[in-house]
Amino acid sequence: MPAEDAQRARPVHPFLEQEQAVPHAPAPDLGRPASAQQHGQPRGEIHLPGERDAPVEGGPPRAVGLEQALEILETAIDLVFDLRASLAPLGEFTRTLDHLPRAAGQAEALGDRRRLGWVSAYLTQSHYTLGEQATAIRAAERAQEAGRALRDDALQIVAAFGLGQAHHVLGDYRAAQRHLGRAVAAVDGGLSRERWGMAGLVSVASRIWLAASLADTGDFAEALAREREGVALAETPEHPWSLAGGVMTLGFVHLSQGHLGEAGPVLVEPVDLAVAATAAAR
């Protein structure tokens, strides 16, 4: 495959994106930025843009404390995460790239390594979905590095998941299996119900992509084992998005083996799930 075609290779499976914003740990103590003194503002307070032009009833400009100003910037970043979570189910991945870089700049200005790491994790998903795999891998590696430095298990898991997706799409199945295997191993137990901003359970999604990659290298027995684990996780309690993706991939593995009789009945189930979900939403 030519390098340019490989760079823009499209995903094989539709188990892609987010429904909710990721929960974040409290931001670290960022200290006092020097800019408050440099701009002539009293120590410990900061004026928001436009406030000097809009005094309250002729009084002095309203100031907010430094801690409150930092909280406002942190909230602005989290709102970008929420916006992205709304755009992704609509397929508006290009629009997510209009907002995530701004959040990255804000997080970098704050010195908030955790939020900056999550920006990279989310950029991974956007670039992967748009077929920009080399860019997705670079973003995932940044997220992985931040996760290691912060000892943030969730960030490392989501980064490994994104690396696995991108390498799978590029046809580097062994690398994909290595990254996805780490995600599967790390997301078991109490973390198996977490989504961290993804549309489906990451424990199930990791198994979906690992099973697909294993099937592409002819490791059918292990692929079936991993995917049956994923389906079981999606069923307890039932999570329709995850369950549909898991069952679909189980059918894909059967098809890859040439077992059409086993694949047919399995592949009917995700269609039924989609019909039921559509009817329930009306």
In tens, the pLDDT along 92-121 reads 999 999 999 999 999 999 999 999 999 999
In a domain, 1, yes or no: no
CB distance 140 to 152 below 8 Å: no
Model confidence at 212, in pLDDT bands (50, 70, 90)?
A: very high
Looking at per-residue pLDDT, the higher value among 1 and 240 belongs to 240
Q: Which tokens belong to 84?
A: 């992205």
Q: How many domains does the chain have?
A: 1
Q: How buried is 73 (Cβ within 10 angstroms: 0-12 exposed, 13-18 middle, 19+ buried)?
A: middle
In a domain, 52, yes or no: no
For the CA atoms of 237, 206, 187, 198, the dihedral, rounded to the nearest 10 degrees, stands at: -70
Q: Which of 160, 153, 152 is nearest to 114 (CA)?
A: 152
Residues in the chain: 282
Residue 36 lies in a domain: no
Mean pLDDT of 131-143: 98
- When the pLDDT of each residue in the chain is averaged and rounded to a whole number, the result is 81
Rounded alpha-carbon distances, angstroms, from residue 269 to 72, 84, 152, 263: 46, 30, 36, 11
Residue 198 near residue 154, CB atoms below 8 Å:
no
On whether residue 212 sits in a domain, the answer given is: yes
User: Does a structural domain hold residue 34?
Assistant: no
54 falls within a domain: no
Residues 120-137, mean pLDDT to the nearest whole number? 96
Residue the block writes with tokens 């995530």: 100
To the nearest whole percent, how much of the chain has pLDDT over 90? 59
Residue with the larger pLDDT of the pair 6 and 274: 274
Question: Which residues in the chain belong to E strands, given as ranges?
Answer: 45-46, 64-65
* Contacting residues for 94 by C-beta, under 8 A, at least 6 apart: 130
Report phi then psi at 17, rounded to 5: -125, -160
What are the pLDDT digits (tens) for 241-252? 889 899 999 999
Give the amino acid at 267.
L
- Residue 183's domain comprises 6-28+64-277
Q: pLDDT value at position 151?
A: 97
Q: What is the pLDDT of residue 267?
A: 86
Confidence of residue 18 (pLDDT cuts 50, 70, 90): very low
Does residue 83 fall inside a structural domain? yes
pLDDT at 63: 58
- Mean pLDDT of the 213-219 span: 97
Asked if residue 56 is part of any domain, the answer here is no
Least confidently predicted of 118-122, 157-161, 171-175, 273-277:
273-277
Cα dihedral sign for 36, 41, 46, 47?
negative
Chain centre distance of CA 4: 25
Q: How many angstroms separate the first and last alpha carbons of the chain?
A: 44
pLDDT of 55 above 90: no
CATH number at 269 reads 1.25.40.10
Question: pTM, whole model, 2 decimals?
Answer: 0.76
